[in-house]
């Protein structure tokens, strides 16, 4: 653990309650354990003990509640045992984390950098690429939008979801995904059976194409298949028919 100093801890959940107490010790069903590389050691916070580990404590244990008020907990430098307890606590990084202004500023800068890159890319994007991004990222019928509406929607998308925007833009499957999105948009491909199965919708071909596995997205699943050896002929078929 790093050197001791006054520290502030914050709950990670966005809807933090006014007051939240975390247990000072584990139970039989839910023990508080820290794996030190060799064994699991039990944790227990007692302000009159020199260590947060039960195997280093004596029998004179005084338990004290650990309460986050308004999502925050301040621990003074004079309480090193509580700091150590929170450091080794299995909820550290999951339920709560130490407030770190430098780390948080770095995270903000990284997000801002991606947001700036996304906005620059969106602003300079050609209309055909805007249509592609709108189809895949926003799930809209791009050909129903005016150029101004389309540009606005794509720029707002880049600002609100810059990571997702750049992920789409840098995806090597982007061209194939656009073909698939247009095939659905133009009803060359149709969903049936509670949106589980995909069927061709040609005048002379209404056969089943594939079933989408549970939890997967139809466009990404179809696009991956079309990139395979088995799907190349279907890709050529769709390329000939999409407008």
Average pLDDT, the chain: 89
Distance CA 133, CA 142 (A): 9
Which residues, at least 6 apart from 161, have a Cβ–Cβ distance to it below 8 Å?
137
Same domain, residue pair 185 and 156: no
User: How many residues would you count in the chain?
Assistant: 243
Give the predicted TM-score (pTM) of the model. Answer: 0.50
Pair 32, 41: CB distance under 8 Å: no
Same domain, residue pair 202 and 231: yes
pLDDT band at 22 (very low <50, low <70, confident <90, very high): very high
Same domain, residue pair 184 and 238: yes
1 inside domain: no
Same domain, residue pair 41 and 65: yes
Same domain, residue pair 34 and 77: yes
Mean pLDDT of 154-178: 88
pLDDT band at 170 (very low <50, low <70, confident <90, very high): confident
Mean pLDDT of 59-85: 93
Same domain, residue pair 87 and 19: yes
Which range of residues forms the domain containing residue 73? 7-99
pLDDT band at 127 (very low <50, low <70, confident <90, very high): confident
67, 71, 64: which is closest to 99 by C-alpha? 71
User: How many domains would you assign to the chain?
Assistant: 3
104 inside domain: no
Give the residue from 66, 99, 132 where a domain finishes: 99
> Is residue 1 pLDDT above 80, yes or no?
no
Pair 68, 18: CB distance under 8 Å: no
Same domain, residue pair 156 and 177: no
Same domain, residue pair 161 and 179: no
2 inside domain: no
Same domain, residue pair 14 and 88: yes
Distance CA 227, CA 215 (A): 20
Q: Is 221 exposed, middle or buried (0-12, 13-18, 19+ CB in 10 A)?
A: middle
Which residues, at least 6 apart from 120, have a Cβ–Cβ distance to it below 8 Å?
none
| pLDDT at position 52 | 95
151 inside domain: yes
- Long-range pairs of 205-208 with CB within 8 A, sequence gap ≥ 24: none
| pLDDT at position 92 | 93
The per-residue pLDDT for range 88-121, each reduced to its tens digit, is 999 999 999 998 888 888 888 998 999 999 999 8
Give the residue from 99, 124, 142 where a domain finishes: 99
> Is residue 73 pLDDT above 90, yes or no?
yes
Give the residue from 132, 147, 170 where a domain finishes: 170
Same domain, residue pair 143 and 190: no
Show the beta-strand stretches assigned E in the chain. Answer: 7-11, 19-22, 33-35, 40-42, 66-69, 72-75, 96-98, 189-192, 197-200, 208-211
């Amino acid at each position: 653990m790093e050197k001791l100093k006054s520290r502030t801890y914050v709950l990670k959940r966005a809807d933090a309650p006014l007051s939240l107490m975390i247990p000072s010790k584990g139970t039989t069903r839910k023990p508080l354990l820290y794996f030190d590389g060799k064994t699991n050691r039990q944790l227990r916070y007692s302000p009159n003990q020199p260590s947060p580990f039960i195997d280093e404590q004596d029998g004179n244990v005084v338990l004290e509640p650990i309460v986050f008020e308004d999502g925050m907990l301040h621990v003074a430098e004079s309480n090193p045992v509580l700091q150590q307890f929170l450091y080794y606590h299995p909820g550290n990084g999951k339920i709560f984390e130490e407030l770190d202004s430098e780390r948080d500023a770095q995270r903000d800068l990284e997000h801002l950098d991606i947001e700036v890159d996304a906005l620059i890319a969106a602003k300079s994007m050609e209309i055909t690429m805007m249509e592609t991004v709108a189809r895949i990222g926003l799930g809209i019928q791009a050909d129903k939008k005016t150029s101004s509406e389309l540009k606005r929607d794509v720029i707002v998308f880049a600002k609100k979801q810059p990571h997702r925007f750049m992920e789409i833009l840098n995806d090597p499957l982007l061209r194939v995904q656009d073909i698939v999105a247009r095939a659905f948009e133009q009803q060359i491909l149709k969903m049936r059976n509670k949106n589980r199965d995909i069927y061709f919708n040609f005048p002379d071909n209404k056969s089943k194409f594939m079933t989408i596995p549970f939890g997967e997205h139809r466009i990404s699943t179809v696009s991956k298949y079309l990139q395979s050896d088995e799907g190349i002929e279907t890709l050529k078929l769709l390329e000939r028919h999409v407008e």
